[in-house]
């Protein structure tokens, strides 16, 4: 999981080369600003600030930002600003759902204590899901079981507009199968962070372990086949019942025989 590669950089657009170099200057400035230390989802200066700093029109800035949006370097949220799009992890682990994960271990997946609620997205979640702050988000909380034993506490948040009518009964089985079958959403990739943590007393009680037991926390931002962020999830796995297995391979180098 250690190698992060930048996606291949497309050529600057014809437009960037055509208006006396102004667009090219704006483009270079924005990319340098990103490379100089902005992280995924960090906010870029506004169009007006960029236009003033660089002595160009807002229209020129807007066009350059349009191009960079098309090239997946940045994304824009109306009313909020322009943000850095995360780069992809090139050598990925296989992306699986909880149900697939359990079946591959020859255990039956299940869910208990399911709740589905809808609330407005706060600023951070809205930025992750590329929504305007306050847009409705569906939150799903489930205790996931393996052969009937609680093993994971999962909280998933999805843009409500993508999953109209979703109810608690709907997610007693696999969420990802439901997304594919009912909503035509195929999860294509995910950015994932795994860290060690301890369970607070409520979460520990749901997972039937003593308070402050060790757990893995897995944060996932899943993107669909159209590149839309569709799920932000935080899963807490019991450390005594779960391990992470990765297949690692020697990096293939380009241009060598």
Query: What residue ranges bind ligand GLP (CB under 6 A)?
Result: 97-99, 109, 154, 156, 174-177, 218, 220, 231, 233, 235
Q: Which tokens belong to 93?
A: 């682990």
User: Among residues 26 and 153, whose Cβ is nearest to ligand GLP?
Assistant: 153
CA distance 26 to 23: 5
Tell me how far, at minimum, the Cβ of 171 lies from ligand GLP, in Å: 7
Residue 59 parent element (H or E): helix 58-70
Q: Which residue has the tokens 């959403």?
A: 185
User: Among residues 61 and 162, whose Cβ is nearest to ligand GLP?
Assistant: 162
Q: Which tokens belong to 10?
A: 């497309």
Tell me how far, at minimum, the Cβ of 112 lies from ligand GLP, in Å: 13
CA atoms within 13 A on the CB side of 174: 19
Tell me how far, at minimum, the Cβ of 223 lies from ligand GLP, in Å: 12
User: Among residues 56 and 187, whose Cβ is nearest to ligand GLP?
Assistant: 187
Tell me how far, at minimum, the Cβ of 206 lies from ligand GLP, in Å: 15
* DSSP one-letter string for 153-167: EEEEEEEGGGSTT--
Backbone angles phi, psi at 206, to 5 degrees: -60, -30
User: Among residues 60 and 99, whose Cβ is nearest to ligand GLP?
Assistant: 99
């Amino acid at each position: 999981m250690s190698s992060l590669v930048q996606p291949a950089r497309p050529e600057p657009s014809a437009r960037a080369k055509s208006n006396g170099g102004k667009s090219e200057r704006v483009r270079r400035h924005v990319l340098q600003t990103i490379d100089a230390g902005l992280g995924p989802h960090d906010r870029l200066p506004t169009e007006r600030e960029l236009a003033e700093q660089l002595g160009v029109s807002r229209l020129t800035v807007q066009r350059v930002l349009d191009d960079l949006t098309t090239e997946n370097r940045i994304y824009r949220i109306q009313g909020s600003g322009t943000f850095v799009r995360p780069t992809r992890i090139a050598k990925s682990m296989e992306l699986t759902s909880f149900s697939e994960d359990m079946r591959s271990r020859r255990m039956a997946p299940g869910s208990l204590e399911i709740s589905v609620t809808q609330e407005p997205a706060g600023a951070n979640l809205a930025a992750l899901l590329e929504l305007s702050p306050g847009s409705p988000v569906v939150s799903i909380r489930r205790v996931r079981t393996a052969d009937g034993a609680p093993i994971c506490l999962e909280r998933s948040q999805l843009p409500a507009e993508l999953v109209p009518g979703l109810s608690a009964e709907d997610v007693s089985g696999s969420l990802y199968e439901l997304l594919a079958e009912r909503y035509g959403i195929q999860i294509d990739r995910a950015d994932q962070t795994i860290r060690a943590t301890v369970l607070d007393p409520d979460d520990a009680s749901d997972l039937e372990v003593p308070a402050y037991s060790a757990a893995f926390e897995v944060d996932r931002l899943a993107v669909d086949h159209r590149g839309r962020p569709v799920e932000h999830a935080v899963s807490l796995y019991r450390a005594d019942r779960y391990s992470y297995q990765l297949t690692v391979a020697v990096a293939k180098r380009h241009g060598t025989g």
